[in-house]
Amino acid sequence: MWKFFHRLASPPHFYRLAATLIPWLMFPGLLLLAWGSYNGLFVAPPDYQQGDAYRIIYVHVPAAYLSMMAYMFMAIGGGIGLIWRMKLAHAVAAAAAPIGAAFTFLALATGSIWGRPMWGTWWEWGDPRLTSELILLFLYFGYMALRSSIDDIAKADKASAVLALVGVVNVVIVHYSVEWWSSLHQGQTILKKGGPAMDPEMLQPLLAMILGFTLIFGALLARRVRTEVLYRERRTRWVRKMVLAPEGGR
C-alpha cells in the first residue's frame, strides 16, 4: 500500500501516469456533458415553479460543487506537502488553484444569471451563500497572487499551503450557509436528508453533468500538475533524459 503511494508520488512516474490518464478522463467527461446537456435542456420536463429557468442548475450546481472540491484539493495538497514534505502534493495544490478559480467564477456568474429572473436581482450582498462564494473566489486569487509573489518555490509552497488551510473555514461556510442562515438561495437538493428532492427525469442529467464535470476537472488537474512537475523538476536528470530522448516526452 505504502509502496504504491510512494511510487505514485514519484514525479517521473506521476508525469507519465498523468499523460495516460488525461484522455481517459477527458473523453468520458465530454460524453457525459453532451448527454447531460441534451437531456437537461431538451428531455427533462420544466419545473412547476421556475419553468425552464431551472435548467441553469445543469451547469451551476456542478460548477459550484467543483469550486469547493478544487479548494479541498488545494488545502489537502498543501497540508500533505507541509506535514510529509511531499513535493507532488504542493504541485497538485498549485495546479488546482486556477481551475478552482475558473469554476468558482462560473458558479457565481451562472448563479447571478439565474437570480435575475428568479429573484429579480443579479446580486444580493446580504445573502450568505453568494457572499461566501465570492470570498472563495478572492481566496483563490489571493492564493495565486501569494504564490506568484514569492520566487523561492519552497517558500511559496509553505506560505500558500497555510493560506489554503485557513481558507477551508470558508468552504464549510459556503456549504452550510443555506442551513445556518436565512438565504435567498435554495437549500440542499441532492444531499438532502431522505434522498434527493428531484424527479428522476431531472436528476439523472444533473448527476451525469456532475460526474462529467468531475472527470473534466480531473483531466485539467492532471494536465496542470504535469506542467508543475516539469517546471519544478527542470534541473533533474530524468527531465534532461526525457527531453533529449528522440521521441521526447511531451
Partner 1 sequence: MVDIGMGNYGIYVWVCFGLTLIIVVLSDWRARVRHKRVYRDIEVRIKALEERE
What cell does 234 get? 527542470
Stretch that binds partner 1, among 44-52, 123-131, 139-147, 190-198 (CB under 8 A): 44-52
| Residue 148: count of CB within 10 angstroms of its CB | 10
Nearer to partner 1, 29 or 81 (CB): 29
Q: How far is the CB of 217 from partner 1 (least distance, A)?
A: 9
Planar angle of CA 71, 108, 135, nearest 5 degrees? 50
Q: Is 106 in the site for partner 1 (CB under 8 A)?
A: yes
Q: Is 184 helix (H, G, I), strand (E, B) or coil?
A: coil
Q: Is 109 in the site for partner 1 (CB under 8 A)?
A: yes
**Total residues at the site for partner 1 (CB under 8 A)?**
42
Q: Is 34 in the site for partner 1 (CB under 8 A)?
A: no
Q: How far is the CB of 223 from partner 1 (least distance, A)?
A: 4
Q: Is 63 in the site for partner 1 (CB under 8 A)?
A: yes
Q: How far is the CB of 53 from partner 1 (least distance, A)?
A: 4
Q: Is 216 in the site for partner 1 (CB under 8 A)?
A: yes
Q: Which residues of 78-115 are buried (b: 16+ CB within 10 A; e: fewer)?
A: bbbbbeeebbbbbbbbbbbbebbbbbbebbbebbbebb
Nearer to partner 1, 15 or 75 (CB): 15
Nearest-angstrom CA–CA distance, 249 and 212:
28
Closest CA to 133 of 224, 211, 61, 210: 61
Residues in contact with 104: Cβ distance below 8 Å, sequence separation at least 6, in sequence order? 63, 67, 70, 133, 136, 137, 140
Which of 31, 41, 145, 166 binds partner 1 (CB under 8 A)? It is 41
Q: How far is the CB of 1 from partner 1 (least distance, A)?
A: 31
Maximum separation of any 2 CA atoms in the chain, in Å: 63
Nearer to partner 1, 44 or 75 (CB): 44
Nearest-angstrom CA–CA distance, 4 and 86:
14
Radius of gyration of the chain (CA): 20
Residues in contact with partner 1 by the rule CB under 8 A: 26, 33, 37, 41-42, 46, 51-53, 55-56, 58-60, 63, 98-99, 102-103, 105-106, 109-110, 113-114, 116-117, 216, 219-220, 223-224, 226-227, 230-231, 234, 239-240, 243-244, 250
